[in-house]
Structure 1
């Protein structure tokens, strides 16, 4: 299968492109390097990977790239952690709508005039931002109040792009909702606003690399946002990539939506203590709570049964094993000055 991946130089795409290539697919990538700048990937010289530096908002370029593709995976977006979508509340909404409209315009054209079979769109667990139902099943986004953050609202709009393109143009789709992807590959973003967390300056705004950085820099007590009881499902990037590939390959995924996540709940405090102990050993764990951000969702607990039953997908990499991969990588990036 020939697959166009937008945002192919990004964090999640780094895992996904490698997964697709290993499965024998040909991948066409496009990225404008707007987040990290030029980055090298292990698969850059793979003969089945063809990369174009360009802007997804250039619909004519997108038509050229998508012309003979079987599917497109729409990942390109302004995206970041909690400080990111508070800092860029308007830009996230406006820029991501432009990106999505161009992607769908090209996909609709390719479906009508060529042989594009389906568009796979990456949404977010933030579409469930206002839910009170746990575990949260697919479909709850249509029942609960809309997201309060512009980021969550825009991700919900992504899903309506997919529904609208199907209803009007019969473009098949799959909606994919990752939960708290964790892995290697995140670096200092070019346009990331630097903030202070205690005595440590941060520039990544994702909880796992941020905590690792603070512990390595000797912060004691450790500063965490809020009381630390926020519940998350930290899902390894390699598992997530496998789940996305199954969404692409399975006919049963057509016109369906899936939560892709580990089934294991972890509080921010539990995560912090786990990272602390892996780096500091038996040194006493101490922490203080900083004022949380406005849209710091207190609880995200997905239902994962649908992905298991329909796709045969389970995220089986433990958080401990994931941290054993991520912690040394973050330390290396700190030493290189990339974080």
Structure 2
């Protein structure tokens, strides 16, 4: 098939492209390099089945494709809050442009949505029918509400225009090719520990997150895209850890003498996050296979190489 991946030079997009290229598809990677990087897809540049286009999806583009994986959007608070207006435009206009393309060429459209649509949840763990608790005017809303609107658009294009859609809600994911300066907790702790700096814990560290390794997540993407289920479907690892547990695990793996320092919790930071993956298990036969220790080992090795190359 001819498959378009928006945000294809990013953390998750590039892992998805690896899988699609290995499966023999023709792949078009679209990225404006705001958080993506050419080095993430370097191994495919020059391959006859791979095409890299520098493009911002807030502008329309005409292509002929069979499937669209729409991943383009900065996903870490530091990056999406850097230019919040651009973030919401990417989520709204960018998604409309890609849905318009899917409608014209009759492509199946896959939306990478997020567990952030649940906000700071009152229901735990979060099933897909939970409607969320999001602050519409907070500093995170350009992303949270942006993705909620993207889901709205996907379902409206589906109902009104018959566009074949798949919607995934991604929970915290980590792995090689994360950006070291993206402010996400896994990359923060690893980079701080490798550089011999104190590990910064926000709040008292009792807030929880679930960490899914990139390869597990991409497997879930591909299963959903090629299933008959529209979604939304949660893809994430139900193993729940406190931030303090994560800090101590990484500290133990890299630098047991590293200091932990505590800073105030940012505004609207969710207290707990854990996916209910019943649907993914029953409808897609999917569940995560990579344990946290194993995934962290791979991620630490990646960042160690990156830091040594600086």
With normalisation by structure 1, the TM-score equals: 0.84
1:211-222 alignment runs, 5 A limit = 211-220=189-198, 222=199
Per-residue deviation, residues 242-292 of structure 1 (Å, max 9, x unmatched): 1101111112x2x221111112011111111110000124x4x64231011
Equivalent residue for 1:132?
122
Per-residue deviation, residues 26-59 of structure 1 (Å, max 9, x unmatched): 2222112232453352333443322222222332
C-alpha deviation, 1:175, in angstroms: 0.5
Unmatched 5+ stretches in structure 1 = 189-202
**Would the aligned equivalents of 1:124 and 1:177 in 2 still touch at CA under 8 Å?**
yes
1:77-96 alignment runs, 5 A limit = 77=73, 79-96=74-91
C-alpha distance in 1 between matches for 2:20 and 2:225: 10
Structure 1 residues 40 and 322: CA distance shift in structure 2, 3 A: closer
User: Pick from 223, 234, 250: which aligns with 1:246?
Assistant: 223
**Would the aligned equivalents of 2:157 and 2:163 in 1 still touch at CA under 8 Å?**
yes
C-alpha distance in 2 between matches for 1:326 and 1:122: 22
Equivalent residue for 1:121?
111
- For the aligned residue pairs, the C-alpha RMSD in angstroms reads 1.9
Count of residues in correspondence between the two structures: 305
Equivalent residue for 2:93?
98
Equivalent residue of 1:123, what SS? strand
C-alpha deviation, 1:225, in angstroms: 1.2
Per-residue deviation, residues 209-263 of structure 1 (Å, max 9, x unmatched): 111111122224x321111111111111111111101111112x2x221111112
C-alpha distance in 2 between matches for 1:169 and 1:226: 46
With normalisation by structure 2, the TM-score equals: 0.92
1:205 aligns with 2:183: yes
Equivalent residue for 1:332?
305
Structure 1 residues 235 and 40: CA distance shift in structure 2, 3 A: closer
Equivalent residue of 2:110, what SS? strand
1:164-175 alignment runs, 5 A limit = 164-175=156-167
**Would the aligned equivalents of 2:135 and 2:268 in 1 still touch at CA under 8 Å?**
no
Unmatched 5+ stretches in structure 2 = none
